[in-house]
Amino acid sequence: MHLLVMSKKHPKTRKQTGLAPGTMVFTGTRKVDEVKVHYLKYNTTEIFETEYTSHDAVKVIPVDQELVDWYDVRGLHDTDLIESIGKSFEVHPLVLEDIVDVRQRPKYDEYPLGNFIIARALSFDKDLREIIIEQVAIYFNKGLLLSFQENKSDLFIDIRNRLRTSGGKVRSRGADYLCYALIDALVDNYFVVLDEIEDEIDTIEQRLLIDPDEKIKIDIHHLKRETLKVRKSITPLRDSVSRFSNSDSPYVDQGTELYLRDLNDHVIQIVDISETYRDVLNGLQDLYLSEVSNRMNQVMKVLTVVTTIFVPLSFLTGLYGMNFVDIPELQNPNGYFYLLGAMVLIFLALVVYFKRKKWF
């Protein structure tokens, strides 16, 4: 099932128990061959970027409070590399433990030396018709932002491009605004996923109203689970963003608050939409069940009408197929035709009766 963690394609690594708090154990699936660290340094006027692939090559440049240093780590299996990065920037061990444990619930925590936020990137796999969940962890303080994701694909390509074209607002602000921008990019994607779900719901509703088949109940069940994934990803994010926006941490600038409030509105909107989808799916399920009952009724009526009409008629034929020595009707030369006539009358009477009952 791997409900809230990843696609069915990947087996799940389970965390060992009994480890000391702060012990780093990668609980995901190795999705990249080699961990890549993309490094980007900017302020309003300058921008510099590079990419490290080798372990030793990651050079930690002392943080310059005038600039924002963004290390974007893609691939989490190399816990040594992540630990060494963590140590360079004095990241708390509990943060490092959470970064590599990809089964985290979205959350926002403030540590003495930096703030830490975990969110989920959602994407809709059109082939599997399934939502793919990827965990994204972001740690930031005054001039530093570390982001961690499992895949090679660049989730934040749009933001990187906005950074590259000088003049964007993000260039003139600190790491807290960059963190907001990253989360905002993730949340924007939720709307895309919800649109896909809405399309699926539309399709199911059409099928249900026009020609309901048996697969519908499985499709509704499947869609309810995918919607549950969205809900379970966004509900804790709501609390996180709300606490982020009300933060009085020294690493969160007052001016970012308006943007975080706007992000908060979007998150609440997603919660709202996903709850609406749940309600609609429950409604469709009820409708499907009514439909099944109705069809059963339909089948039963056919059976009953056919039986009720022919069983008495067959009884009559049986009656006159008996071999008693003296059945007076049988001797009547027109007996057969009288009986045929009676049968037609019975038949018509029953048909009229059932018509009136609207049974067919």
- Between residue 85 and residue 114, which ones bind a copy of itself under the rule CB under 8 A? 92, 94, 98, 103-105, 107, 109, 111
Inter-residue contact 309 to 350 (CB < 8 Å): yes
Size of the site for a copy of itself (CB under 8 A): 114
Residue in 31, 142, 207, 224 binding a copy of itself, rule: CB under 8 A: 224
Closest approach, Cβ 200 to a copy of itself, in A, equals: 10
Q: Does 210 bind a copy of itself (CB under 8 A)?
A: no
Q: For the segment 46-85, give every residue that binds a copy of itself (CB under 8 A).
A: none
What is the C-alpha to C-alpha distance for residues 149 and 171, in angstroms, rounded to an integer?
23
Nearer to a copy of itself by C-beta: 78 or 335? 335
Closest approach, Cβ 347 to a copy of itself, in A, equals: 10
Inter-residue contact 67 to 41 (CB < 8 Å): yes
Nearer to a copy of itself by C-beta: 48 or 337? 337
Residue in 51, 312, 341, 352 binding a copy of itself, rule: CB under 8 A: 312
Angle between helices 257-319 and 175-210 (to 10 degrees): 20
Residue in 100, 184, 237, 252 binding a copy of itself, rule: CB under 8 A: 184
What is the C-alpha to C-alpha distance for residues 135 and 98, in angstroms, rounded to an integer?
10
Nearer to a copy of itself by C-beta: 60 or 310? 310
Helices then strands, counting H and E runs in the chain, come out as 8, 7
Closest approach, Cβ 177 to a copy of itself, in A, equals: 10
Closest approach, Cβ 138 to a copy of itself, in A, equals: 16
Q: Does 207 bind a copy of itself (CB under 8 A)?
A: no
Inter-residue contact 22 to 94 (CB < 8 Å): yes
Residue in 289, 342, 351, 352 binding a copy of itself, rule: CB under 8 A: 289
What is the C-alpha to C-alpha distance for residues 65 and 72, in angstroms, rounded to an integer?
18
Pairing state of beta strands 144-149 and 68-74?
parallel
Which tokens in the block code for residue 49? 């970027």
Closest approach, Cβ 314 to a copy of itself, in A, equals: 5
Distance of alpha carbon 296 from the chain centroid: 33
Residue in 129, 207, 225, 243 binding a copy of itself, rule: CB under 8 A: 225
DSSP 320-347: TT---S--HHHHSTTHHHHHHHHHHHHH
Which tokens in the block code for residue 125? 């796999």
What is the C-alpha to C-alpha distance for residues 7 and 5, in angstroms, rounded to an integer?
7
Q: For the segment 247-276, give every residue that binds a copy of itself (CB under 8 A).
A: 258-259, 261-262, 265, 268-269, 272-273, 276
User: Within 13 Å and on the Cβ side, how many CA atoms surround 77?
Assistant: 11
Q: For the segment 148-167, give every residue that binds a copy of itself (CB under 8 A).
A: 157-159, 162
